[in-house]
Amino acid sequence: MGEAGAISVLAEATANRLRLLQRELGDERSADRSSALAQEVKDAIAKVVPEQRQEFLEELRSRFPTFDGGGMPASDSSPDDVDPLILFDRLASQAGKLSAAEKQAVVERLKEEGFPVGGGGAPSPDPDLMEVGRLLQIGPNAKPDAARAAQLLFILIDFIQKLDQAAWGSWTQIAPESDIRKNASLAKLMGKFIKGELARQQVSQETDRLLRLTASIVVALQRIGPGLFNQYFRPVSPSEIKEEATRGGLLQSKEKQWWAKYEERAAAMDSDSFNAALFAAVARFVKDFFQPGGLPPATEPR
């Protein structure tokens, strides 16, 4: 679904919700009813990036005619309840009808109220937001959009929560007795950081542990193959079978001795024992990866 389609769907859902609230709150005071309807509109607007809000309001007005476009139904509206960004959108929609003198008067009023408009008073770009743009390589002259940065944050938080659960859950199955353990839920740590209860370094330490765990498991699966193959299948290799079987008696032919030895050793090999060998090899690799300053070997020892 395109962006225009998504706006229409949201507008239709919001209009339906407003009609439902009108019926549910029919016996309430007019001011309370207007406040509840206004809050519903604000919640919907928060899901829309700034450049699409005017389109959303127009779509909503076409489906809910009593809506005045200011963040609430027309009756009993209070300016104090209106979203400031919606007030700006309404003002901006009138810009084409204003003369140069009227526009300048608006600018002067904004300045009087403390808005940093005009030449020297323009706000400098948020340094953290600009650093995000640098990390995402959007270009030296491009300014990241704050609303879209917030939407990207939602996506990344959801991703890291799922990765945190999957990686540590897998590690618990691979090495249940390992002393490498999950310290805390990343979601809770990030929540404490947002509230100002934790330093950035504390969150970074846990994300680094998640990165090391995930990377070591992935790299282990690339590197342990040759060593694991030799460790697990060497006992049934022709050379090993021949060497061991020829130490026995001479009453049987060599071929029968070799086959008997193969059956004996192959009987001990099954999916459970191979899985255990695989987990053990991965666990050794991850443990080496977590050693301070240590790097795992290029391959598992043969």
- Per-10-residue mean pLDDT of the chain, 302 residues long, equals 72 84 78 79 82 82 68 45 63 75 78 69 67 83 82 89 89 87 86 88 88 84 72 72 63 71 72 76 79 54 42
- Retrieve residue 175's tokens: 């090495």
Report how far residue 223's alpha carbon sits from residue 225's, in angstroms, rounded to the nearest whole number.
6
Domain annotation covers residue 101: yes
Contacts of 192 (CB under 8 A, 6+ apart): 198
- The angle subtended at Cα 196 by Cα 191 and Cα 201, nearest 5°, is 80
Domain check: are 196 and 212 in the same one?
Answer: yes
Residue 143 within a domain: no
Q: Is 37 within a domain?
A: yes
Give the pLDDT confidence score for residue 280 in this predicted structure.
81
Give the model's pLDDT for residue 225.
Answer: 72
Residues 204 and 239 in one domain: no
The reply to whether 159 and 60 lie within a common domain is no
The answer on 232 and 215 residing in a single domain is no
Range of the domain at 214: 148-222
Q: Position of tokens 């859950």? A: 169
Ramachandran angles phi, psi of 224, nearest 5°: -85, -5
Pair 88, 35 in one domain = yes
pLDDT, position 119: 54
In a domain, 128, yes or no: no
Predicted model pTM = 0.45
- Can you give the pLDDT at residue 125? 65
Q: Residue 269, exposed/middle/buried by CB under 10 A (0-12, 13-18, 19+)?
A: middle
Alpha-carbon span 206 to 177, nearest angstrom: 20
Q: Are residues 163 and 207 in the same domain?
A: yes
- The residue written with tokens 């340094």 in the block is 127
Q: Please tell me the total count of domains within the chain.
A: 3
Backbone angles phi, psi at 73, to 5 degrees: -60, 160
Q: Which two tokens stand for residue 225?
A: 């193959």
Cβ 50 vs Cβ 34: under 8 Å? no
- Output the CA–CA distances (angstroms, integers) from residue 266 to 117, 168, 232, 241, in the order listed: 81, 34, 11, 11
| Same domain assignment for residues 209 and 285 | no
Give domain status of residue 17, yes or no: yes
Q: How many Å apart are CA 192 and CA 180, to the nearest integer?
A: 23
The closest alpha carbon to 145, from 120, 160, 125, belongs to 125
